[in-house]
Amino acid sequence: MRRFFYQLYIIGLISALLLTGCNSSKRVTDTEDSGPLSLNDQVVLQLQDEAIAKLYAALAEGGEQCTASLAERLADPEEYYYYFCGDLDSREKLTAYFRTSYTEAVVSEMLDTYPIKVINDKLAFLPYEVGSMLEWEEAKVIEITDFEEKSEITFEVPDVDGETEVIKVDAVYEDIDGKWKLDTVPWEYI
Protein backbone atom coordinates (compact mmCIF):
# COMPACT_ATOMS: atom_id res chain seq x y z
CA MET A 1 0.00 0.00 0.00
CA ARG A 2 2.88 2.36 0.85
CA ARG A 3 4.41 1.69 -2.57
CA PHE A 4 1.08 2.56 -4.24
CA PHE A 5 0.89 5.94 -2.49
CA TYR A 6 4.53 6.60 -3.25
CA GLN A 7 3.94 5.86 -6.95
CA LEU A 8 0.95 8.22 -6.94
CA TYR A 9 3.13 10.89 -5.32
CA ILE A 10 5.87 10.45 -7.94
CA ILE A 11 3.37 10.55 -10.81
CA GLY A 12 1.92 13.75 -9.37
CA LEU A 13 5.37 15.28 -8.92
CA ILE A 14 6.44 14.44 -12.45
CA SER A 15 3.15 15.76 -13.82
CA ALA A 16 3.58 19.00 -11.89
CA LEU A 17 7.13 19.38 -13.16
CA LEU A 18 6.07 18.76 -16.74
CA LEU A 19 3.10 21.13 -16.48
CA THR A 20 5.30 23.93 -15.15
CA GLY A 21 7.52 23.63 -18.18
CA CYS A 22 10.53 22.09 -16.48
CA ASN A 23 11.13 19.83 -19.44
CA SER A 24 11.15 22.67 -21.92
CA SER A 25 14.48 23.07 -23.60
CA LYS A 26 13.45 26.27 -25.36
CA ARG A 27 13.21 28.71 -22.47
CA VAL A 28 16.81 29.81 -22.86
CA THR A 29 18.91 29.26 -25.95
CA ASP A 30 22.50 29.76 -26.98
CA THR A 31 23.99 30.41 -30.38
CA GLU A 32 27.31 29.15 -31.69
CA ASP A 33 28.52 32.68 -32.42
CA SER A 34 27.79 34.09 -28.98
CA GLY A 35 30.16 31.85 -26.99
CA PRO A 36 29.24 30.49 -23.58
CA LEU A 37 25.79 31.36 -22.33
CA SER A 38 26.28 33.35 -19.16
CA LEU A 39 25.03 31.70 -16.03
CA ASN A 40 22.11 33.81 -14.86
CA ASP A 41 19.00 33.13 -12.78
CA GLN A 42 16.92 32.02 -15.77
CA VAL A 43 19.59 29.62 -17.08
CA VAL A 44 20.16 28.19 -13.58
CA LEU A 45 16.46 27.60 -12.91
CA GLN A 46 16.00 25.95 -16.31
CA LEU A 47 19.02 23.72 -15.77
CA GLN A 48 17.78 22.69 -12.33
CA ASP A 49 14.23 22.04 -13.62
CA GLU A 50 15.51 19.85 -16.46
CA ALA A 51 17.89 17.94 -14.19
CA ILE A 52 15.16 17.15 -11.65
CA ALA A 53 12.75 16.07 -14.39
CA LYS A 54 15.41 13.75 -15.86
CA LEU A 55 16.19 12.27 -12.46
CA TYR A 56 12.57 11.37 -11.76
CA ALA A 57 11.78 10.25 -15.31
CA ALA A 58 14.75 7.87 -15.33
CA LEU A 59 14.94 6.61 -11.76
CA ALA A 60 11.28 6.70 -10.72
CA GLU A 61 9.64 5.69 -14.00
CA GLY A 62 12.46 4.07 -15.98
CA GLY A 63 12.34 6.40 -18.95
CA GLU A 64 10.15 8.65 -21.06
CA GLN A 65 9.27 6.27 -23.89
CA CYS A 66 7.67 3.29 -22.17
CA THR A 67 5.39 0.90 -24.01
CA ALA A 68 4.37 -0.84 -20.79
CA SER A 69 3.40 0.50 -17.38
CA LEU A 70 5.81 0.31 -14.46
CA ALA A 71 3.80 -2.58 -12.98
CA GLU A 72 4.10 -4.51 -16.25
CA ARG A 73 7.89 -4.08 -16.18
CA LEU A 74 8.41 -5.77 -12.81
CA ALA A 75 11.71 -7.66 -13.08
CA ASP A 76 12.15 -8.94 -9.52
CA PRO A 77 9.00 -9.18 -7.38
CA GLU A 78 10.99 -9.90 -4.21
CA GLU A 79 13.21 -6.82 -4.40
CA TYR A 80 10.89 -4.65 -6.56
CA TYR A 81 13.31 -4.02 -9.40
CA TYR A 82 11.74 -2.86 -12.67
CA TYR A 83 13.02 -2.90 -16.22
CA PHE A 84 13.93 0.39 -17.83
CA CYS A 85 12.00 1.61 -20.86
CA GLY A 86 13.54 1.15 -24.30
CA ASP A 87 14.98 4.68 -24.34
CA LEU A 88 17.10 3.99 -21.23
CA ASP A 89 17.71 0.24 -21.36
CA SER A 90 21.51 0.39 -21.31
CA ARG A 91 24.16 2.11 -19.22
CA GLU A 92 25.25 4.00 -22.35
CA LYS A 93 21.72 5.34 -22.92
CA LEU A 94 21.38 6.32 -19.25
CA THR A 95 24.74 8.07 -19.36
CA ALA A 96 23.85 10.02 -22.50
CA TYR A 97 20.45 10.95 -21.04
CA PHE A 98 21.90 12.30 -17.78
CA ARG A 99 24.91 13.94 -19.48
CA THR A 100 22.66 16.63 -20.95
CA SER A 101 22.17 17.97 -17.40
CA TYR A 102 24.99 16.60 -15.22
CA THR A 103 28.78 16.41 -15.51
CA GLU A 104 30.47 13.13 -16.38
CA ALA A 105 31.75 12.69 -12.80
CA VAL A 106 28.27 13.16 -11.32
CA VAL A 107 26.66 10.78 -13.83
CA SER A 108 29.31 8.17 -13.12
CA GLU A 109 28.74 8.49 -9.37
CA MET A 110 24.96 8.33 -9.82
CA LEU A 111 25.09 5.16 -11.92
CA ASP A 112 27.77 3.51 -9.75
CA THR A 113 25.89 4.08 -6.48
CA TYR A 114 22.25 3.79 -7.53
CA PRO A 115 20.62 0.32 -7.33
CA ILE A 116 20.75 -0.70 -10.99
CA LYS A 117 21.44 -4.26 -12.09
CA VAL A 118 20.97 -6.69 -14.96
CA ILE A 119 18.12 -9.18 -14.63
CA ASN A 120 17.45 -11.66 -17.44
CA ASP A 121 19.93 -9.78 -19.66
CA LYS A 122 17.99 -6.52 -19.22
CA LEU A 123 18.89 -3.42 -17.23
CA ALA A 124 16.64 -2.98 -14.18
CA PHE A 125 16.35 -0.36 -11.43
CA LEU A 126 14.90 0.06 -7.99
CA PRO A 127 12.50 3.02 -8.31
CA TYR A 128 13.65 6.19 -6.59
CA GLU A 129 11.84 6.00 -3.25
CA VAL A 130 12.60 9.45 -1.91
CA GLY A 131 10.08 12.12 -2.67
CA SER A 132 11.28 15.65 -2.15
CA MET A 133 9.64 17.80 0.46
CA LEU A 134 11.16 20.78 -1.34
CA GLU A 135 9.11 22.77 -3.83
CA TRP A 136 11.74 23.29 -6.51
CA GLU A 137 9.22 24.89 -8.87
CA GLU A 138 9.18 27.80 -6.37
CA ALA A 139 12.98 28.00 -5.98
CA LYS A 140 14.75 31.34 -6.24
CA VAL A 141 18.39 31.96 -7.04
CA ILE A 142 20.01 33.95 -4.26
CA GLU A 143 23.54 34.12 -5.61
CA ILE A 144 25.80 32.78 -8.34
CA THR A 145 29.47 32.75 -7.33
CA ASP A 146 32.03 32.19 -10.06
CA PHE A 147 35.22 30.32 -9.30
CA GLU A 148 38.03 29.39 -11.67
CA GLU A 149 36.70 25.94 -12.62
CA LYS A 150 33.03 26.13 -11.58
CA SER A 151 30.18 28.29 -10.38
CA GLU A 152 28.35 27.81 -7.12
CA ILE A 153 24.63 28.47 -7.20
CA THR A 154 22.84 29.30 -3.97
CA PHE A 155 19.11 28.58 -4.06
CA GLU A 156 16.38 29.44 -1.62
CA VAL A 157 13.86 26.62 -1.82
CA PRO A 158 10.58 26.47 0.11
CA ASP A 159 9.40 23.17 1.54
CA VAL A 160 5.87 21.85 1.93
CA ASP A 161 5.65 23.32 5.45
CA GLY A 162 6.35 26.86 4.24
CA GLU A 163 9.91 26.93 5.58
CA THR A 164 12.80 27.70 3.24
CA GLU A 165 16.14 26.00 2.83
CA VAL A 166 19.32 27.46 1.42
CA ILE A 167 20.91 24.92 -0.94
CA LYS A 168 24.21 25.19 -2.79
CA VAL A 169 24.78 23.38 -6.07
CA ASP A 170 27.84 23.50 -8.32
CA ALA A 171 27.70 24.01 -12.09
CA VAL A 172 30.40 23.67 -14.73
CA TYR A 173 30.44 24.97 -18.31
CA GLU A 174 31.46 22.21 -20.71
CA ASP A 175 33.00 23.38 -23.97
CA ILE A 176 32.45 19.98 -25.58
CA ASP A 177 28.72 20.66 -26.05
CA GLY A 178 28.55 24.30 -25.02
CA LYS A 179 26.25 23.79 -22.02
CA TRP A 180 26.23 24.35 -18.31
CA LYS A 181 25.95 21.11 -16.30
CA LEU A 182 25.22 20.47 -12.66
CA ASP A 183 28.24 19.14 -10.78
CA THR A 184 26.54 18.02 -7.57
CA VAL A 185 24.90 14.61 -7.09
CA PRO A 186 21.15 15.34 -6.98
CA TRP A 187 20.22 13.25 -3.95
CA GLU A 188 22.52 15.44 -1.87
CA TYR A 189 19.99 18.28 -2.17
CA ILE A 190 16.70 16.98 -3.57
pLDDT for 77-103, tens place per residue?
999 999 999 999 999 999 999 999 999
Of the candidates 40, 26, 32, 49, the residue with the CA atom closest to the CA atom of residue 134:
49
Of the candidates 51, 58, 121, the residue with the CA atom closest to the CA atom of residue 93:
58
pLDDT for 110-152, tens place per residue?
999 999 999 999 999 999 876 678 999 999 999 999 988 899 9
Q: Which of 13-17, 88-92, 122-126, 159-163 has the lowest mean pLDDT?
A: 13-17
* Residue 23 clears pLDDT 70, i.e. is over it: no
| Residue 12 CB-density burial (10 A; 0-12 exposed, 13-18 middle, 19+ buried) | exposed
CB 85 within 8 A of CB 67: yes
* Residue 11 clears pLDDT 60, i.e. is over it: no
* Residue 6 clears pLDDT 90, i.e. is over it: no
- Model-wide pTM > 0.75: yes
Query: Of all helices (H) and strands (E), which one includes residue 42?
Result: helix 41-56
Question: To the nearest whole number, what is the mean pLDDT of the chain?
Answer: 82
What per-residue confidence (pLDDT) applies to 179?
92
CB 115 within 8 A of CB 123: no
pLDDT above 90 coverage of the chain, percent:
67
Distances (CA, A) of 29 to 37, 38, 47, 87, 92: 8, 11, 12, 25, 26
